[in-house]
Structure 1
């Protein structure tokens, strides 16, 4: 199993715009083969921080996701709304 934690700090006033873009992203991605979970979280103390926590059956499923039409179309739009981003990809040990 692969877990992805993708954290973004959004430009002031742009977080809700990013959430609107994520709406389609989440709906499409949850239907992908190999997607176990795909959830967007908002920081309780800083409303401009959004974190996507994903679970995938395999690296191959994650790679297929990154090459999907909705990913390649929506993620560049979301990226323009961020001040910074951090991405960590984990593999299950236990």
Structure 2
């Protein structure tokens, strides 16, 4: 059995910035998916509220996520082009197990 370190980030963009943020997230996703510790990076725009964005990320270990937050693309795209354009941001982490599921 192996564990995954999962990240759920919820963003609410400032008015008029959502399309620009989504473009930057596309760049961020492409770079992040090439990181050795990354398993998946996806993002979604809200239907009922198009200023809401959810990002789902998976890494092999918590340390891989820490390394992600130190990469050049996170520092230049995430920290300087995305985060300042957000009205709010929450990041929550979870551990999941890849293995046989057992009934309770």
Q: Compute the TM-score of the two structures, normalised by the length of structure 2.
A: 0.85
SS at match of 2:35: coil
Summarize the alignment of residues 14-93 of structure 1 with structure 2, pairs less than 5 Å apart: 14-76=17-79, 77-92=81-96
User: Is structure 2 residue 2 aligned with structure 1 residue 4?
Assistant: no
State the shift of 1:53 in Å.
0.4
Q: Give 4+ residue runs of structure 1 displaced > 2 Å after superposition.
A: none
Larger Rg: 2
**RMSD between aligned alpha carbons?**
1.2
Q: Compute the TM-score of the two structures, normalised by the length of structure 1.
A: 0.94
Kindly tell me the number of residue pairs found equivalent between the two proteins.
94
For structure 2, which runs of at least 5 residues remain unmatched after alignment? none
